[in-house]
Structure 1
Amino acid sequence: MLNRDFTNQAPTMLNKVLIGIQNKSPRRSVYSLVLWTGLTFIFVSASTYFISQSRPAVDYFTHHESTYDSSANTNGPNPLLTTEGIDQFIHDHAYPRLGESANFTGLRQVCDSTKWQKNVYFTCTHNLGGLINVRNMVLNCVRYAIAAGASGLILPLIEARDPTVLSRLKTGEYQSMQFLFDEDWFKKVMKTNCRQMELLDTIEDVPHYRYATMPDLMNVQSFMGQPPGSRQGRMRNRKPEDFRPRFDALIKSQSKRPGERNPVIVRLDDRTLFSWPPSFDSPAFANYFGFILEFRLDLTALANIIVSRVRPTSSSGASKDPYVGVHLRSEADAGKYWASWDQLANATLSAAVESDIKHIYVASGDTDGVAKLAKKAAESGIKVLDKWGVLLKNEKEYLKPFRFDQLAIVDYLTLLESDRFVGSGQSSFSSHILMRREFIANNTLSTDTKNDNGKPRDQFAGPGRLAYWDQDWP
């Protein structure tokens, strides 16, 4: 009422002031005109300001009034662009993480029972592709290094995809683990639970690396005597128990035995994606090995912020609003036989309506597809949100420079927290989210995807799961 009354009274107040000025100074018409113009500008600006302050925020896709606080959108310096500011943001919002409650007893037992070899090092630089594929390749690299009894592991690198042509994966641009993962966490877990294997930052840290014996780039399938091929199923190491005997034979076949002044450095190629089957290891190892990798802390904090805003406290303060998460994998590069936009959209809306959920969080690079979903959902009174519509100005400014696969971390963690999840069974990203959600629900892997009420928590639209989904580490 205050803003509206002020706006309505402004013309009357202005007229009175100006008439008074003219009456007192009838001979100074020029001065009156200047004053008239200046006061008009002041009153119009003030009115515009008060009106703008009472206008609600608008979310990106639906243009509905938003309940999110916009007070953080200041015109001052962005605290998230300073070291102190982002450190405080991480401290306030990144914890706790799932890995902090992980049980690494299985990892410790495997490392304690392994026969280790001096002066043998593993390096893996060809970790490429989407977020979950990179994750699985890094984990397989570490698993092979442990199986080989390598005395040292050079921290894996990530070959970043082309930022403009996303289908171009082999670019020769190598990033550190920190590009996607929390490197400090990885070092801490490995040093605590697999202390026998030294971690080195770069290949130059290997003693006398210039004199190292480097076998040809190792393709695991060929090394294991399996037919090479591009089909994912052929990547599986069908006899992981034979890897160590074959590896020992490889070391013995070198012209020089590993020594301090002539170390052996083994380089794995980019065909390790689905190579090591987790089912080979005990549940104590397989269920928790994936937690040696946690995502970047700053992106984890942003994901937690999004979850807190997509699921605000209800007006009674008694509960949190649920939301359906969907991985709308309908971009142009989606496989021919993957779930279509119609299948994904219909499955998502059905999940929301069946569970009486009024919010959908969508992760997708298909902006047109997201806009279509938002329009269709609005017909049922359902609101569609994405990270750009939820984050505030300072947060979006911080997030904007990140690359495609880095941004996927925010979506992955937000979808992980959803009450219902819908994805494409042919996507490793969707498949892994469902796998991790099953683990969280059951504290072990299970094919049971129903809750206590007998209703499915998650579902895949279109074709079912990948035939090789179980070759991902949970």
Structure 2
Amino acid sequence: MFGLQNKFPAYSYSLRNILLATGIITFILVVFSTFSLLQSRRNQHDFDYFHSPSSDSNPLLTVQGVDQLIQEHSYPRLAELADFKGLGELCKSAKSQHHVYLTCRHNVGGLMNVRNMILNCVRYAIEAGAYGLIFPQLEARDPVEIVLVKTGQYKRMEFLFDEGWFRKVLEENCPQMKLFDHIDDVPRSGYATMPDVLTIQTLMGQPLGGANGNLRNKKPHEFRSRFDAWLKTNKRRPSPSVPTIVRLDERTLFSFAPTLDPPAVMNNFGFLLDFRLDLSGLANIIVDRLREDVKKAGGSEYLALHLRREADVAVQKEKWATFDELANKSLSVAAADNINLLYVASGDIESVDELKVKAAKSGVRVVDKHDMLSEHEKEFLNTFAFDQQAIVDYLVLMHSNVFIGSGLSSFSSHLISRREYLANITLTTGDHKYPTVERDELVGPKGRLGYWDMDWP
């Protein structure tokens, strides 16, 4: 009996420990589950709708507020100009490779580079007759050191683009090519053959090199035959039980010339990627306010400048237009055309402030996106990353009456070609929504010019 009495307190103590430990574990699991649920909800979007606002009254930090922004300011959308009949015919003409799936994960760089890589990825998938396309991903640049673009931080396409629109266009025009969110969604993906990451230049028998010129596919008409031959070198042929998943590497930037396709494809394929609707809405708000300001001042035009002076420019100064070159060109155009409002897009705040001081001496008012937004709108904008915010600038610059850009910049050079394309469309339709572009100009070294034919309009 005495022995039992000695053991009972120990047993009671042990039981209390077990109950206490169980309670702690349960609490941790509940907290973790709640965090995971919130994180899952956050990951459904590209910015944090659940970000704690500085004011509880900011509707743009709620799902309902963003939906209202989109409904009121994001339509009509630019991509509605496109006619995808040519894309449909292209997809029908491609001989399907059953149980061959293609994906491109390493889409990296600035906004326009990522855009061109993803479009080339889709174009190669069509050319290869892929049975399915796994949604391309992009590699997000470092949020602090923006020069660092290879971070290993991968995002869904919706980080920059309207994924729903992308899916809709492909499902309607290329139904034979199935779409999958993830590799794991491919039927029997656990048994799939995954060859080494495929480099277009290696497939085409070209040197890799470091220069962008070496990225060109110099034998584009041989791609399909070479791709088919490459597939046959793999040990297992694609089959329902053992599919093949092909992964393209990042060397797709300038690897497919749009001019190889008929005009019906070339002129519309780029609209497959339309920008996020929420950021498009913010851009339209700014454009409307710029036009109102111009009208109130008795003018009719605003000038736009891409002031490319971010940190990476300092590393290779000789390759980029200088601040003075960009500023002087913009102010000379403003003086010649009697324009008193200059919208500037730049990630370098100091350069923007310097331009404001310089322009004021000439009677020109300089504004950027932050100057044209309300406090609530700026708070919403600040929830987005650097390249996401660039979408707003891109669209505002696109609608300007005159555009001045930096010659080496993919952002600037693509804007020049997109503005020319849109101006030509509106001229032929009689709808003068987009201005003529005779006064547009790139300043400084024109490094990107050699690859314009490799950019999708």
Q: TM-score range by the shorter chain?
A: 0.7 to 0.9
Q: Shift of the alpha carbon at 1:365?
A: 1.2
Q: Shift of the alpha carbon at 1:386?
A: 0.4
Q: Shift of the alpha carbon at 1:314?
A: 6.0
Change (3 A) 1:314 1:214: closer
Rounded Cα–Cα distance in structure 2 between residues aligned with 1:172 and 1:443? 39
RMSD: 2.1
Change (3 A) 1:412 1:455: closer
2:147–2:311 CA contact under 8 A, matched in 1: no
Among 343, 362, 371, the alignment partner of 1:361 is: 343
1:186–1:294 CA contact under 8 A, matched in 2: yes
Deviates further, 462-471 or 359-368: 462-471
Rounded Cα–Cα distance in structure 2 between residues aligned with 1:434 and 1:229? 28
Compute the TM-score of the two structures, normalised by the length of structure 2: 0.83
Rounded Cα–Cα distance in structure 1 between residues aligned with 2:231 and 2:273? 29
Change (3 A) 1:375 1:111: same
- The structure whose Rg is larger is 1
Q: Shift of the alpha carbon at 1:248?
A: 0.7
What residue in structure 1 maps to residue 355 of structure 2? 373
SS at match of 1:254: coil
Pair 1:202 & 2:185 matched? no
Q: Shift of the alpha carbon at 1:316?
A: 7.5
Change (3 A) 1:338 1:204: same
Task: State the Cα deviation string for residues 39-69 of structure 1 (Å, max 9, x = none).
Answer: xxxxxxxxxxxxxxxxxxxxxxxxxxxxxxx
What residue in structure 1 maps to residue 305 of structure 2? 326
Rounded Cα–Cα distance in structure 1 between residues aligned with 2:242 and 2:406? 49
1:117–1:150 CA contact under 8 A, matched in 2: yes
Q: Shift of the alpha carbon at 1:456?
A: 2.8
Pair 1:414 & 2:396 matched? yes
Pair 1:440 & 2:419 matched? no
Deviates further, 177-186 or 75-84: 75-84
Q: Shift of the alpha carbon at 1:88?
A: 0.8
Among 218, 232, 244, the alignment partner of 1:252 is: 232
What residue in structure 1 maps to residue 145 of structure 2? 165
The AA in structure 2 aligned to 1:333 is D
Q: Shift of the alpha carbon at 1:185?
A: 0.3
1:427–1:466 CA contact under 8 A, matched in 2: no
Q: Shift of the alpha carbon at 1:219?
A: 0.8
Rounded Cα–Cα distance in structure 2 between residues aligned with 1:258 and 1:471? 32
Rounded Cα–Cα distance in structure 1 between residues aligned with 2:334 and 2:66? 35
Among 51, 55, 67, the alignment partner of 1:87 is: 67
Rounded Cα–Cα distance in structure 2 between residues aligned with 1:196 and 1:408? 34
Among 218, 235, 239, the alignment partner of 2:215 is: 235
What residue in structure 2 maps to residue 466 of structure 1? 449
Q: Which residues in structure 2 correspond to 1:296-307 (within 5 Å)?
A: 296-307=276-287
Rounded Cα–Cα distance in structure 1 between residues aligned with 2:57 and 2:295? 33
SS at match of 2:75: coil
The AA in structure 2 aligned to 1:325 is A
Deviates further, 326-335 or 149-158: 326-335
Rounded Cα–Cα distance in structure 1 between residues aligned with 2:296 and 2:366? 23
SS at match of 2:344: strand
1:157–1:176 CA contact under 8 A, matched in 2: yes
Stretches of structure 1 that go unaligned for 5 or more consecutive residues are 1-73, 446-452
Task: State the Cα deviation string for residues 91-111 of structure 1 (Å, max 9, x = none).
Answer: 000011121120112111111
Q: Shift of the alpha carbon at 1:443?
A: 2.6
Rounded Cα–Cα distance in structure 1 between residues aligned with 2:80 and 2:253? 26
The AA in structure 2 aligned to 1:245 is S
Task: State the Cα deviation string for residues 229-264 of structure 1 (Å, max 9, x = none).
Answer: 110011000111101001111122221211111000
What residue in structure 2 maps to residue 262 of structure 1? 242
Q: Which residues in structure 2 correspond to 1:78-227 (within 5 Å)?
A: 78-227=58-207
Q: Which residues in structure 2 correspond to 1:24-35 (within 5 Å)?
A: none
Change (3 A) 1:455 1:393: closer
Q: Shift of the alpha carbon at 1:321?
A: 3.7
Deviates further, 308-317 or 273-282: 308-317
Change (3 A) 1:162 1:311: same
Rounded Cα–Cα distance in structure 1 between residues aligned with 2:237 and 2:128? 15
SS at match of 1:311: helix
Q: Which runs of 4+ in 1 moved over 2 A?
A: 313-317, 453-457, 463-466
Q: Shift of the alpha carbon at 1:468?
A: 1.2
The AA in structure 2 aligned to 1:96 is P
The AA in structure 1 aligned to 2:305 is V
What residue in structure 1 maps to residue 10 of structure 2? none
Compute the TM-score of the two structures, normalised by the length of structure 1: 0.80
Rounded Cα–Cα distance in structure 1 between residues aligned with 2:164 and 2:175? 15
SS at match of 1:266: strand
Among 310, 321, 325, the alignment partner of 1:343 is: 325
2:73–2:282 CA contact under 8 A, matched in 1: yes
1:182–1:293 CA contact under 8 A, matched in 2: yes
Larger proportion of helix? 2
Q: Shift of the alpha carbon at 1:320?
A: 7.1
What residue in structure 2 maps to residue 352 of structure 1? 334
SS at match of 2:197: coil
Change (3 A) 1:188 1:286: same
Rounded Cα–Cα distance in structure 2 between residues aligned with 1:410 and 1:315? 22
Q: Shift of the alpha carbon at 1:291?
A: 0.3
Pair 1:290 & 2:256 matched? no
Stretches of structure 2 that go unaligned for 5 or more consecutive residues are 1-53, 428-434
What residue in structure 1 maps to residue 46 of structure 2? none
Task: State the Cα deviation string for residues 409-454 of structure 1 (Å, max 9, x = none).
Answer: 0000000000000001111000000010010011399xxxxxxx99
Change (3 A) 1:76 1:216: closer
1:374–1:383 CA contact under 8 A, matched in 2: yes
Change (3 A) 1:177 1:399: same
Rounded Cα–Cα distance in structure 2 between residues aligned with 1:394 and 1:382? 27
SS at match of 2:383: coil
1:118–1:151 CA contact under 8 A, matched in 2: yes
